[in-house]
């Protein structure tokens, strides 16, 4: 990887020359190809999609639909099972809402204690129907204890919905084992893959889960686009999540029939420009190659963890993984928000808070943490600068 060449493709670093961006797990910066694609569509090709037969609209629709093919090849999925949503949060809400209609009092959902709120709150809503939620525990290192899954499953277990990669610790859940256990019991599996895609090799046919959700904006694409893979059996069984134009087949004053396939889940005018630009983000990633991105991020993680662990007063959240692109820590005696403010004075952007993972933080007996997450634009000099800011922070707060 030619890091200098790659970083030069991100305009944000030309406008903010001193910026060190360690918040890719929150949202990745955008390469010029994605920005240019948005501008080009709005300037030269814009028309609403799926609504008209004139040439401009037909070409826009074809351009939009071709993104499904790009995504299918990217994660080895099936084109007819790709639903565009607003983000991973909406994707997971869609699954919980639609699947929830099949549930009755006493039925059970299994999650993990490492879940992002986006994969807990939507299932929590089903408690109004007296559905029970169980949690696969995490250990003191933050690892999901998949070996305990079998003991949680009963004949009332109807769904297992789990995180693929933690957005706090960077640890990977053994999703293949979860899926294998679930398959033997004929239980569907939903995976929140938001932090896995681009940071690891994801092959949906190999995984063979029922649902898989991720977001465009975390893989160097635009905001406002989520991707949900849903197996055809569920596409056929689920009723629409939203109602409106584009998701119907026939309407009269007494009855409505819905569009077939994934179209019934894509109501209203969609984020067409953003979906089209997503193709260019995926091409950007594919040109670099996932294996190169993974190798680069792992080398950064190894370097960062080695340097930061040498400081006194550093507490990592769980066991930080040098195999991931994310880790979290605290400086003893300094609130995460205060430390983040000091880092910001040096143009270093890190996330501070509970990262939408309060259950994990409470299990670790901490209120908040500092999160470092890597992208293709980071280098070892960025980590050196972070370490200097940690020294500065310790000095300000009079820590040895």
Tell me the pairing of strands 351-353 and 20-21.
unpaired
Distance of CA 151 to the CA centre of its chain: 28
The C-alpha atoms of residue 122 and residue 110 are separated, in whole angstroms, by 13
Determine the length of the chain: 400
The answer to whether residue 356 is catalytic is yes
DSSP classification of residue 370:
E
157-163 and 108-112 strand pairing: parallel
CB atoms within 10 A of CB 124: 14
Ramachandran area for residue 244 (φ above 0: left; ψ -120 to 50: alpha; else beta): left
Q: What angle do CA 180, 166, 6 make, to 5 degrees?
A: 110
* Residue of 190, 356, 357, 387 with catalytic role: 356
Do the beta carbons of residue 187 and residue 154 sit within 8 Å?
Answer: no
- Specify which residues 190 forms β-bridges with: 161, 211
From CA 87, how far away is CA 122, in angstroms rounded? Answer: 14
The secondary element (H helix, E strand) that includes residue 180 is: helix 175-184
Enumerate helices (H) and strands (E) in the chain, giving the number of each. 15, 15
Phi, psi angle pair for 160, to nearest 5°: -120, 120
Residues classed as catalytic: 356
């Amino acid at each position: 990887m030619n890091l200098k060449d790659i970083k030069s493709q991100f305009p944000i670093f030309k406008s903010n020359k001193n910026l060190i961006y360690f918040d890719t797990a929150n949202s990745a910066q955008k390469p010029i190809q994605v920005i240019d694609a948005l501008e080009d569509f709005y300037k030269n090709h814009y028309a609403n999609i799926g609504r008209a037969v004139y040439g401009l609209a037909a070409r826009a629709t074809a351009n939009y639909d071709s993104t499904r093919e790009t995504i299918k090849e990217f994660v080895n999925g099936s084109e007819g099972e790709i639903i565009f949503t607003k983000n991973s949060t909406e994707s997971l809400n869609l699954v919980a809402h639609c699947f929830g209609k099949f549930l009755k009092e006493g039925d059970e959902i299994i999650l993990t204690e490492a879940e992002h709120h986006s994969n807990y709150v939507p299932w929590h809503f089903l408690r109004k129907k007296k559905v029970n939620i169980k949690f696969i525990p995490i250990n003191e290192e933050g690892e999901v204890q998949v070996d305990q899954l079998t003991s949680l499953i009963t004949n009332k277990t109807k769904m297992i919905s789990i995180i693929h990669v933690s957005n706090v610790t960077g640890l990977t859940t053994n999703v293949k084992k979860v899926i294998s256990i679930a398959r033997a019991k004929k239980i569907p599996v939903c995976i929140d893959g938001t932090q896995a895609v681009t940071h690891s090799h994801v092959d949906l046919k190999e995984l063979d889960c029922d649902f898989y959700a991720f977001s465009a904006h975390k893989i160097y694409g635009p905001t406002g686009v989520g991707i949900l893979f849903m197996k055809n059996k569920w596409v056929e069984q689920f009723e629409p999540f939203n109602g409106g134009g584009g998701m119907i087949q026939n309407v009269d004053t007494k009855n409505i029939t819905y569009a077939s396939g994934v179209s019934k889940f894509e109501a209203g005018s969609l984020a067409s420009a953003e979906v089209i630009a997503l193709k260019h983000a995926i091409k950007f990633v594919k040109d670099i190659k996932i294996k190169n991105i993974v190798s680069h991020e792992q080398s950064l993680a190894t370097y960062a963890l080695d340097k930061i662990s040498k400081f006194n007063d550093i507490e990592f959240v769980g066991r930080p993984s040098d195999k991931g692109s994310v880790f979290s820590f605290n400086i003893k005696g300094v609130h995460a928000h205060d430390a983040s403010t000091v880092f910001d004075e040096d143009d270093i952007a890190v996330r501070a808070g509970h990262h939408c993972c309060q259950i994990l933080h409470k299990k670790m007996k901490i209120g908040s943490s500092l999160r470092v997450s890597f992208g293709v634009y980071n280098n070892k000099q960025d980590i050196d600068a972070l370490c200097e800011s940690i020294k500065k922070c310790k000095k300000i707060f009079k820590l040895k």
